């Protein structure tokens, strides 16, 4: 992540790096640390991914699902449910 943080916010490598960081923290069971990173990743996806293209739509849905999973594990079931309904 430190390698890419200096790049512009819209840079695809920076956005990818924050997603990898969030997923790595989640996988390492550092859930409370993963939450703000996954939330930032979701915000980046909403801002910069093209909703008209399949790849952009897929990235957004993955980011929403990852953030919802994190919320669920932290016991924030109502918030996770709202995100899951958006995905479906």
Instruction: Supply 48's token pair.
Output: 């910069």
Confidence of residue 86 (pLDDT cuts 50, 70, 90): confident
Q: How far is residue 77's CA from residue 70's CA, in Å, rounded to a whole number?
A: 10
Instruction: Supply 30's token pair.
Output: 């550092």
- Residue 50 vs residue 43, higher pLDDT: 43
pLDDT above 80: residue 80 = yes
Q: How far is residue 51's CA from residue 64's CA, in Å, rounded to a whole number?
A: 13
pTM for this one?
Answer: 0.85
């Amino acid at each position: 992540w430190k390698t890419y943080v200096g790049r512009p916010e819209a840079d695809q490598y920076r956005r990818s790096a924050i997603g990898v960081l969030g997923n790595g923290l989640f996988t390492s069971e550092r859930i409370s640390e993963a939450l703000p990173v996954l939330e930032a990743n979701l915000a980046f996806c909403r801002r910069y991914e093209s909703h008209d293209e399949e790849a952009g739509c897929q990235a957004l849905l993955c980011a929403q699902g990852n953030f919802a999973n994190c919320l669920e594990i932290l016991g924030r079931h109502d918030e996770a449910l709202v995100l899951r309904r958006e995905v479906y």
